[in-house]
Amino acid sequence: PYTDHTLVDQAVECVRQRQPGSAGFINAVLRRFLRERHLLVAQLQAEDPVARYQHPRWWIDKVRRDWPTHATALLEAANVQPPMTLRVNARHGDATSYAEQLAHIGITAKIAGSHALVLDQAVPVHRLPGFDQGHVSVQDLSAQLAAPLLLGEGADALPAGARVLDACAAPGGKTAHLLELQTLDLLALDVDRERLVKVAQTLARQNLHATLQAGDAAEPTPWWDGRLFDAILLDAPCSASGIVRRHPDIRWLRRPADITTLVRTQARLLDTLWSLLAPGGRLVYATCSLFKAEGADQIDAFLQRTPHAIRRPAPGHRLPLGENVSGSVKNCSEAGDGFYYARLDKPGAAGPSI
């Protein structure tokens, strides 16, 4: 809210009090920066991708390697504020009916799916009609793809009562979505006991029911009762490189070695959970990552070592860009987060063990 000159004056005053000998020098540097700002910033941005895109160098290189055509758009999109997206509880209405309720109280939104709405402007959740009763939840568009992908449709639909494992459940957004769409015998597991409290809160708000369990999905002995699952959602721990626009600090906190560790953990989770899946069952693997190592490459490697697994149609990598991804970031503020989805079916007697 202050003018540049006020800021410089205050900064120099501050230096005068603490380091009087440096005040003249600081004053000269800051005033010269104000005079030459456009040139200096332009030069820096042209020469230094770290300054231009506000990402660490290794991350920029990785995005360029994985997405040579879309790298610039992806890096720029990570600095654009994301939209607030809602999921209307299918047990209470749909996007059209909820958009009308919102319009009545002056909140405008675009319909983005049968039960999805993107708000023109973010609002506090207490302003959303029926939020406390679970009629609506805040969930990104790409995250909303998980539950329908696991549940299937038509002849492929998972029947009521199917035994489902949500292996990395907290804070429970996808758990709740699954239960909104189908009545399931659902075990919501998470290694982090404190985060599991959030799953309980999410389900309580919506009056939905699941069995909650703290445990490591890669070490089932302590928590598994020996009954195979008809369907497993593995929303795996990942770099979160697909949601950096929501958590800008992630890119600075991660280290390149973290990706290697995460890829190894994801592979271990995949292998272990595959063994808990009933013949004829399905597993959905998801990460909120842009990196192919945590998406397409991870699943290719799994299929190499698990040749009997059947890869079914799934969205694959979803980039957080608008429809026009030819280098332009237009519309990206309304696009879903970066995600990867694969669905893997286990051959065998079809039909859930309900």
Ligand X SMILES: C[S@@+](CC[C@H](N)C(=O)[O-])C[C@H]1O[C@@H](n2cnc3c(N)ncnc32)[C@H](O)[C@@H]1O
Q: Which stretch binds ligand X (CB under 6 A): 103-111, 128-136, 170-178, 307-315?
A: 170-178
- Is 148 near ligand X (CB under 6 A)? no
Q: Specify whether 332 is catalytic.
A: no
Q: Which stretch binds ligand X (CB under 6 A): 210-218, 224-232, 275-283, 294-302?
A: 210-218
For helices 296-305 and 256-274, the axis angle rounded to 10 degrees is 40
State the number of binding residues for ligand X (CB under 6 A). 18
- Is 117 near ligand X (CB under 6 A)? no
Nearer to ligand X, 111 or 138 (CB): 138
Taking CB under 6 A as the criterion, the residue among 63, 99, 212, 217 binding ligand X is 217
- Is 230 near ligand X (CB under 6 A)? no
Taking CB under 6 A as the criterion, the residue among 111, 218, 267, 301 binding ligand X is 218
- Is 174 near ligand X (CB under 6 A)? yes
Q: Which residue is nearest to ligand X (CB)?
A: 168
Looking at the DSSP bridge assignments, the partners of residue 136 are 88
- Is 243 near ligand X (CB under 6 A)? no
Q: Cα(160)–Cα(184) distance, rounded to whole angstroms?
A: 6
DSSP string spanning 44-91? HHHH-HHHHHTS-HHHHHHHHHH-TTTHHHHHHHTTSPPPPEEEE-TT
Nearest distance in Å: CB 190, ligand X = 5
- Is 128 near ligand X (CB under 6 A)? no
Q: Which residues contact 287 (CB under 8 A, 6 or more apart)?
A: 235, 236, 238, 239, 242, 266, 294, 295, 298, 339, 340
Spacing of C-alpha 2 from chain mean position: 36
Taking CB under 6 A as the criterion, the residue among 237, 280, 315, 322 binding ligand X is 237
- For residue 116, give the amino acid letter: A
Q: Cα(279)–Cα(82) distance, rounded to whole angstroms?
A: 40
Q: Cα(18)–Cα(82) distance, rounded to whole angstroms?
A: 41
Active site residues: 288
Residues forming contacts to ligand X in the complex (CB under 6 A) are: 167-174, 189-192, 195, 216-218, 235, 237
